[in-house]
Structure 1
């Protein structure tokens, strides 16, 4: 699959026209439950789950552009939705939703001659859900 038209929404705003990278990660803690009866083999169980949402944005400080959307969200927990494709949600295009803490925003970053970009990683808050409808 080639990502050409992925979808990202934060706080109900479609951010896809400013986004060139999306990564959603879900993981579970590894808890060691090894006992003497394990015969020298480590045994594990899953503990707490957590996730993160990373994105790459093309910076734009014009009115109603990415910077003016993200700046007021700093420090808040907002809803997100991501899809591999911006087409209708379905069995071949599931959506993943949840909430993230907007814990960082970098208004200015780059070198001479570079495209102004902002890379972010936000921790999820609560469950991540997967839906096909």
Structure 2
């Protein structure tokens, strides 16, 4: 199995390439577990998968200049927008899948940090609808 170091991940939110602003991307997709254990299970739990959902967690280096990160994200607050993320900026393919879906922009932190800190923003957005894995 190949190993890799994340050096040039790709991220778009609402059609805007935010790769140059992001320094952390985490996409987590889960399925609810539903307990369907009966007396016939002979003392063993039986589980089925239920609803699927996910969360896109991001960390950005803040930029409040016109046309940059803050002016892109602020108007999106409260909306559901498309996203795409992949491990490398190279073309989408079997060795570089793209994960695509929509997220609810439920929060934005224009200011975060202490004296002497770099200006960064940490956010987590729930997915809305299906998350797809594309290789072409």
Q: TM exceeds 0.5? A: yes
Instruction: Give unpaired runs (5+ residues) of structure 1.
Output: none
1:8-87 to structure 2, matched below 5 A, reads 8-87=11-90
Q: Deviations over 1:22-67 (max 9, x none)?
A: 0001100000000001111111000000001010000011111100
Number of aligned residue pairs: give it.
133
Mind listing any 5+ residue stretches in structure 2 that lack a counterpart?
none
State the Cα distance separating 1:111 from its structure 2 match. Answer: 0.4
Given the alignment of the two structures, is residue 115 of structure 1 paired with residue 118 of structure 2, yes or no? yes
4+ residue segments displaced more than 2 Å: none
Q: Using the alignment, how far apart are the partners of 2:27 and 2:78 within structure 1?
A: 20
- In structure 2, distance between residues paired with 1:5 and 1:117: 18
State the distance in 2 between where 1:109 and 1:84 align.
Answer: 26
Q: SS at 2:20's partner residue?
A: helix
TM-score normalised according to structure 2 size: 0.97
CA-based RMSD of the aligned residues comes to 0.4
